[in-house]
């Protein structure tokens, strides 16, 4: 019984020890399971973080790749202008070494040329073809600028007083100069006048109402139609290059419609214009010109019935008034000193006041083409 009692405490102790071990083992077993779970989680995160950095690197590289292309396009235009300046710089120094002044003038004309185109166009002269009438072929290549009052100055009786005729030719162009058919060396005088830029006319002598002498071979109402036509043709053939005809004197002859008809008929047949000097209000010239449907015009002002500079200046002022009112004016003067002196100072002034000086053909073309 004692041994039983002795064994039992040992067994109890062993059992206790076993129990303790058992508990310890159980606890370790349980703890061991939790521990590995924690470690494995940590290890998984670690490797994930490590590869994350290399993965992040490539994406930025891809992002950087696309942006470059657009900036390249913007850069392309830039390089183009850059090479341009160098050649200019090299050209500039080249001319500089020899003459310093030359280079600047070469640079200034370039911008001026760019601004020239507009003003050139409006003054293009009217076109003349082989089928054009003679008055257009012989007209000055002149077209009046639109919107300005035009003044045609006609000087009659040209060619007889050589000294004053030459003074008249020396006046600024364009004048319209009407030559007497009996002037000495008429073709040469007329050619010189045309070369100086003036327009030409034939100044045809006709019978006046008074006792004044119209000159040799003048047209008279007493002549038969054949002689009137013969004298007319002879006068028309005395020179060439003129645009038309106006009458010298003729206050009696121009008032006779029957006498005037063959004269204007021949002028029209040759393709020339008629300028009626209006030495009489009864002139049949304009009425006949309309009937013949030929180009014509009529005188508005006589400049030198009184041969003093102030008187001529006064008539020139009246000419300006007419031009402002009807858009144009035709004034007739003569190669007198007073007339020439007055014109010499007036011609530059009138253009500054906005008038344009034109040959008589420009007035006829614009206002009296006569159908």
Please identify, using beta-carbon distances, which residue of 43 and 337 lies nearer to Zn ion.
337
Please identify, using beta-carbon distances, which residue of 139 and 201 lies nearer to Zn ion.
201
> At 11, which helix (H) or strand (E)?
helix 2-56
CA distance 235 to 238: 5
Question: If you search the block for the tokens 């850069």, which residue do you land on?
Answer: 75
Q: Which residues fall within 8 angstroms of residue 336, CB to CB, at 6 or more apart?
A: 164, 304, 307
- Residue 123 CB, shortest distance to Zn ion, in Å, is 32
CB 359 within 8 A of CB 325: no
- Residue 357 CB, shortest distance to Zn ion, in Å, is 21
Please identify, using beta-carbon distances, which residue of 264 and 332 lies nearer to Zn ion.
332
User: Contact residues for Zn ion (CB under 5 A)?
Assistant: 156-157, 248
CA distance 204 to 235: 7
Please identify, using beta-carbon distances, which residue of 154 and 294 lies nearer to Zn ion.
154
Helix (H, G, I), strand (E, B) or coil at 219: strand
- Residue 203 CB, shortest distance to Zn ion, in Å, is 6
- Residue 204 CB, shortest distance to Zn ion, in Å, is 9
Please identify, using beta-carbon distances, which residue of 157 and 199 lies nearer to Zn ion.
157
Q: Which of 254, 124, 138, 146 is nearest to 201 (CA)?
A: 138
CB 241 within 8 A of CB 216: no
- Residue 144 CB, shortest distance to Zn ion, in Å, is 26
> At 244, which helix (H) or strand (E)?
strand 244-249
Please identify, using beta-carbon distances, which residue of 156 and 320 lies nearer to Zn ion.
156
Q: Which residues fall within 8 angstroms of residue 239, CB to CB, at 6 or more apart?
A: 179, 181, 186, 187, 190, 200, 202
- Residue 237 CB, shortest distance to Zn ion, in Å, is 20
Give the C-alpha distances (Å, rounded to integers) separating 149 from 22, 300, 342, 355, 367: 135, 14, 20, 5, 12
Please identify, using beta-carbon distances, which residue of 194 and 334 lies nearer to Zn ion.
334
Q: Which residues of 134-145 are buried (b: 16+ CB within 10 A; e: fewer)?
A: bbbebbbebebe
CB 334 within 8 A of CB 304: yes
What is the maximal distance between C-alpha atoms in the chain? 203
- Residue 186 CB, shortest distance to Zn ion, in Å, is 15
Please identify, using beta-carbon distances, which residue of 157 and 320 lies nearer to Zn ion.
157
Please identify, using beta-carbon distances, which residue of 331 and 356 lies nearer to Zn ion.
331
DSSP codes of every residue in 307-349: -SHHHHHHHHHHHHHHHHHHSEEEEEE-S-HHHHHHHHHHHHH
- Residue 244 CB, shortest distance to Zn ion, in Å, is 15
Q: Please identify the residue of the shown chain whose CB is closest to the bound Zn ion.
A: 248
- Residue 156 CB, shortest distance to Zn ion, in Å, is 4
């Amino acid at each position: 019984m004692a041994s039983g009692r002795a064994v039992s405490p040992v067994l109890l102790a062993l059992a206790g020890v076993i129990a303790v071990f058992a508990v310890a083992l159980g606890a370790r077993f349980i703890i061991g399971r939790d521990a590995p779970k924690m470690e494995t989680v940590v290890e998984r995160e670690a490797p994930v973080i490590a590869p994350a950095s290399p993965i992040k690197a490539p994406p930025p590289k891809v992002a950087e790749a696309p942006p470059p292309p657009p900036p390249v396009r913007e850069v392309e235009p830039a390089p183009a202008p850059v090479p341009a300046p160098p050649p200019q710089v090299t050209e500039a120094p080249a001319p500089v070494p020899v003459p310093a002044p030359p280079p600047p003038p070469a640079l200034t004309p370039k911008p001026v040329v760019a601004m020239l185109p507009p003003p050139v166009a409006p003054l293009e002269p009217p076109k003349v073809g082989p089928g054009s009438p003679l008055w257009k072929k012989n007209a000055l290549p002149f077209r009046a600028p639109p919107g300005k009052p035009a003044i045609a100055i006609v000087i009659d009786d040209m060619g007889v007083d050589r000294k004053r005729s030459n003074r008249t030719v020396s006046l600024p162009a364009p004048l319209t100069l009407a030559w007497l058919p009996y002037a000495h060396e008429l073709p040469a005088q007329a050619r010189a006048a045309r070369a100086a830029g003036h327009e030409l006319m034939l100044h045809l002598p006709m019978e006046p109402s008074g006792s004044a002498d119209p000159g040799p071979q003048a047209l008279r109402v007493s002549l038969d139609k054949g002689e009137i036509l013969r004298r007319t043709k002879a006068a028309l053939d005395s020179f060439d290059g003129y645009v038309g005809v106006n009458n010298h004197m003729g206050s009696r002859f121009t008032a006779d419609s029957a006498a005037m008809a063959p004269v204007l008929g021949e002028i029209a047949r040759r393709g020339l214009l008629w300028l009626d000097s209006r030495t009489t209000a009864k002139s049949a010239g304009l009425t006949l010109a309309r009937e013949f449907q030929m180009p014509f015009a009529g005188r508005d002002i006589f400049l030198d019935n009184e041969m003093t500079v102030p008187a001529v200046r006064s008539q020139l002022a009246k000419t300006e008034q007419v031009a402002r009112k009807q858009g144009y004016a035709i004034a007739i003067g003569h190669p007198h000193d007073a007339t020439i002196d007055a014109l010499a100072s007036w011609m530059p002034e009138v253009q500054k006041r906005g008038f344009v000086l034109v040959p008589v053909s420009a007035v006829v073309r614009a206002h009296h083409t006569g159908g």
